Structure 1
Amino acid sequence: MTEPQDAPVAGEDKAALSPGEQRLIPDLDRSNTTNGNMYGLQAGTVKGNVTILDATGSAPDLMLRRATAEEIDEVRKHFVAPQQMDKARRLLREHHVVVLWGRGSGRMFTARRLLVDAGCGAVIEMNRDRTPRSVKESDLVRGEGYIWDLSDSGGTPFADWEFDNLAALVRGKACELVIVLDRRNQVVGTAHDVAVGLTPPSAVEVAQATIRKLEPDAPEQPSTLLKSEFAEALTDEDRPEKAVRAARLAIRVARGELDAPSALAELEEDVRDAVAQWFGEQNGIEIPKALAVALLENQPFEEVMRHGMNLDQRIRSAELPEDKKLRPRRVFAKSKEALLRDIRAVPTVRDHPRHAGLREETVRFERQDWAKTVFWHVWGEFPSARDVLTDWMCDPAMLGRFPDATRRTLCAIIAEVPAHDPLRLVDQLATRSSVAQRRLAAAMLEHLADDHDLLPLVRQTLEDWADRGSAYRQWTAATVYGSPFGLRDLPTALLQLAKIGRTDRPSPQNAVVAGVLAMLGDQEHREHVLNTVVSWTNGQNRRNGLRTVSLSLGMWITGIVPSDLDSREFAEDYPDQVRTLVNRVLADPEFGDVALSQLADLAAYARWDERAAAALVDLTTLVAPNLRWWTRRSTVLTLVRTHPAWRTSIHHVFRTARRAQRAKR
């Protein structure tokens, strides 16, 4: 459980929504007309579609990076297969999709070899910031091979139906997909038949293959040294990364650059000790640049360096007296080659993921486990740097481009660095006015609950926020409950969302609507969630915030406000629930006014817009199944009594709907 909560941000509990936050509940105190498309829901007239979208911006590119010719050649010539390789090949050949799990087993290298063996024309890593449901057929190219690395993603990264839809797209496009996970329990039910658990290949064989790659002309002496000096230090449980380091050390010993005892000591040296020693030798630009590489490993070099310079300026500004100005760095102080050598990083030139014929350069550390350890060391040994690092990682430019990298790094820090209040950083982010930073806090809680065994602490924190948290803390809790985390214990999640929804604060109410809409996107749980929304619209909640939440949801679900939701599908699959929702929305004095405004707009456009006419017929037949004058008469009179100011418009709406219905026949 977190420490006693700080006071809310000034104006937090009274504020409506944060800047840039999509509005999903109507502002009933406003009356406005919006021409063109609009991202949110207001009271008044909306001419154009209302679209539900992620307030953080447009979706990132699906294709992250392409394997280089050197990487393809390496995996062809120097791959050491794990025991389960034949099974993985067979499953990929039969289903076009295979799921690999097992940390420290060389999953990414194995995935690349599987796609090469399958004859793929290109091997492409997909962006982990995208969701499976966001992939479209047009995103995939026939004959290409894709790797989706979802390690360190926490919980189950996708639902059964998402996996099924994605697998169908891949098969239909005749391409190949390898999904990489950490643990067996992350594999959803429908993916079990194509899942393979990997164990590390022989470490000695991996080291021998590495020597043949690095020393193709004279591998004999390093290979002999490897067997005589390093073999006992390599076990069957060791990760391939350790075997690669052993090979490099054997080569250095063979060249006379290092003696065998020193090389063996370096091989067995704990990475934390190695990082601490490296830090003790640095005092300049190398530290912020190393931290940038640690956060953004395998990302484009120029972006990593730009963020490194930004961190350098932040650090030097924090150390600068108030009466002094920051001196610029020397432009030609150190070459790229020298800098990367000093921070123990290496570049890779590869084909550009989007622009054919162009190339880009990415950067990573020489040692695979170096990145997280760099942050653990800085966070643990230099507490005064924490605020600077947090602000840098949570800067809008960083979160807009690399949200997942920030999430994984901060979660690793929380899980590994001792602290009396482990979730204090999450709590600080949850009280920020920035939507992106609160989304980060929510994603961190989901991740910590799964990958770092902090579920009891996360659960208690969420319950505390739902019970008595500030507006932004409740917003964050609602976002977590509306995520796949909440679907694992759906009754509890819906109870907590209802508790948060009863508040009179617009921001948490809006987050509850967003969370429930996300839940409705999961086909397996849709009916249960929809029934719960209907129950929220009953008279018991007439005087609390759940009225606003449930009726707002009713407007989205029924299609009164057009959105990306398929309201016709809802009406066909759950006619009773949808009919109840639309009638309760129209029966409400305030929400009914908003709904009638939308219907009046549809009626105005119905003469020349077939889609508007079809939507009008769909909605009015939910209220009055038979649109003939005599049979709809009682329904129309009831609406007129509830909304007398809309009398003329109500009659016009139903006359127009009947006319459109007859014309359609």
Structure 2
Amino acid sequence: MSEAPTTHFETSSGAVNTGPGDQNIYNYLQAMPTLSKDPAGRTPRTLAEEELDWLRVHFENPVQYIEAFEKLKEQSTVLLDGEHGDGRNAAARMLLLRIADGGKRLQEVLLREDERSSRQLDPELIDDEDRLLLDLSRSSDDLWRTVEPELSEFRESVRQRRAKLVVILPRGVSHRLGPELTRLRFVIERPPGMELDIVKRHLRVAGIDPTLADTTPNALGKFLVQRRPLAEVATFAQYVCKAYLEGNNFPGACDKALEALQGHPESAANLLAKVRNQSARALLLAAAMMQGARADAVHRAAALLLEAADPTASKRPALQHPLLSKRLHPLSAQIDAAGRVRFSELGFDIAVRACVWNDFPQLREILRDWVGDALTVRELDDADRDALITRFAEQTLACRRPRDLLILVERWSRIDNSKTQLRAAASALIRGLHDREFGRQFRSSVYDWSTDDRLPPGRRKVLVDVCRDDMAVSHPNAALVRLHHLARREKHSTMARNALLHLTADDHRLRRRMLSRLGSDLSPAAYERGGRKHEREDVGLFLDHNAPEPLIDAGIRTHPLISESGVRNDLTTGWAAVFRVAPAEQWTSSVHDWFSTACAEPATFGVLIDILIAACDRRGDRLGAVYSAALAWTAPASVPHAEATDFPGRVLRQITAAPSHQPPTARETTPS
């Protein structure tokens, strides 16, 4: 078993036929430019799927993995325990991936995901056949004591919806588990020889004869006797493959891999101690941060770093500078045949970066500001910029300084006319969101920004893009909450509104969640709390999300949304707000859609019309407006179904039959 990169994931699912309106929006959004694509044109969803593919082919079963898989099939929930570094997260994901059988998305459960919930775990967020990962490995004892009592109800909802849940336990709580949870607990451990198996699997996947590892060269043997986290074992194996494919024999490849993993930190520190000249140090760090970039870009970035670190540094005339290649040589770097700067030793750039951030804490803010400036060096291409952001994020998060990354996101997204800076802001934000330790802090920052009425247009673009294309892959409910706040606050565009529609178009759970939020915000209780601030915007969003087709189409679920009493209540509340505040021309087409569906699907006629009638709240003027809409819909040129010929009469009879409702009079057929 080996750990994959730490991006979260979601498998593709088939689209539900949501009707012509939503389908048009979906196509429009697919064509929208995205800031989140990497230079190769891959979206976060594509990258997440590639990560899953990587995990599939590199995974080695740990101890108790098979037993946990069988228990998960039987009981719908398992709890994974074990030592840090033994691959519990990878095991959890593989359990869910294999049991999903390629048909259902895998998503991480967030604690207190909706800001309106008083619970850490919300059973309402679970949909049919979900595959859920709850990673509590970094949680405190106090948090576990809050979560544990809620697990029983959450697990029952998982069982009822035929979903699957894997929980990664915090360390040290196993002795406090009750009998019910103890029988679901499995200790994930590495069996003897697992490290060598991981190396062999990497060799096999890379097309290298795995039996080469049976000779156990000295460097390989030295590495295998150490109990390293499995993520490091995977990194070592990747280094071996890279070095071997570059032409080294197998023992030499193992030597280089071990040196890259263990020896370079000391070598990097010695080089920095030896190189005292500021200009040389600036070039060394620029090369380490931009390895693989064009030499002129590294040269320009080094000059910017020197100026940032010491604005008073003397500047030689350009013709007196030594040759760039000569300046790089004593730094263990060189310019390759393609004109790009690379270090001669595998992994040396990583060691230089770590050494600078760890041993020069006084430079961290200067380096942050330098990265912000270096991004604009025109000789850099998009791949170079992405690499620069990734390397900065790795170092600043390793030093527990997430605020440095957030500051750059804020700076790069302050204006909206620089695609380079907006892409950088999105890229930096995604790196923070994917961090296991600080991801929650970044999600919190996205939430705070999304509720800001004075959000800069550039940052709005970045947030919509990241929520739609990245957060929606790993944490769709969190993405929905933030897009809702953004959509109700946008005045000069519909980016967030369209993204929200795209997010809910083929996902019953998210549509239900959106209707629940709107039902809460548009309810009389919300008005009593002073919740009218975004009333008109939420009415518009409700009309966006009340298309009848996805409400009556069960898709792969056992029942349609309309069959749920909570959904019907939210629809009634939403329609009541529509009739209360919106002019008829705003809602007539939506009501006509409901009429069309009611006639096309006779089994739904009663429930759809009853919702509209109940939303009129016994008011004759509103009932009259619905009846007028029925008359207009059955005009000779617009009747889409033969069954609709007596439609107004059927609506009138249902109005008359409704409790305490009076049929509309001629004076009550004009909407308020």
Structure whose residues are more often helix by fraction: 2
> TM-score, normalising length from structure 1?
0.48
TM-score (norm 2): 0.48
